[in-house]
């Protein structure tokens, strides 16, 4: 069986598309994990598209016994 230039090119392109799809799936999974972490613990730090560190916090309430602000717990439900 001989591979033509077209067959070789198609395999190369399909390989690149598969790699991009895997990268996208990993990115979506990382975002979902970050959102779950944020909803459970109230704080998440990550690098944005510019490469700068960003910190996101959820709503908080003052602790009556100390000066700390505690995150208000949220239940996480997947729909």
Q: Hey, what are 42's tokens?
A: 């109230």
pLDDT under 50 in the chain at which residues?
A: none
Average confidence score pLDDT of the chain: 78
Contact of 43 with 71, CB cutoff 8 Å: yes
- For 52-62, what is each residue's pLDDT tens digit? 888 877 777 88
Q: Hey, what are 31's tokens?
A: 């975002």
Is 78 contained in some domain? no
Number of domains in the chain: 1
Q: Domain residues for 46?
A: 5-71
Is 17 contained in some domain? yes
Q: Contacts from 49-56 at CB under 8 Å and sequence distance 24+?
A: none
Is 76 contained in some domain? no
pTM over 0.75: no
């Amino acid at each position: 069986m001989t591979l033509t230039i077209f067959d070789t090119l198609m395999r190369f392109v399909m390989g690149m598309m598969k790699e991009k799809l895997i990268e996208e799936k990993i990115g979506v999974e990382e975002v979902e994990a970050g959102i779950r972490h944020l909803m459970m613990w109230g704080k998440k730090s990550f690098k944005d598209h510019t490469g700068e560190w960003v910190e996101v916090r959820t709503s908080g309430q003052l602790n009556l016994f100390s000066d700390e602000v505690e995150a208000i717990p949220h239940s996480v439900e997947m729909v």
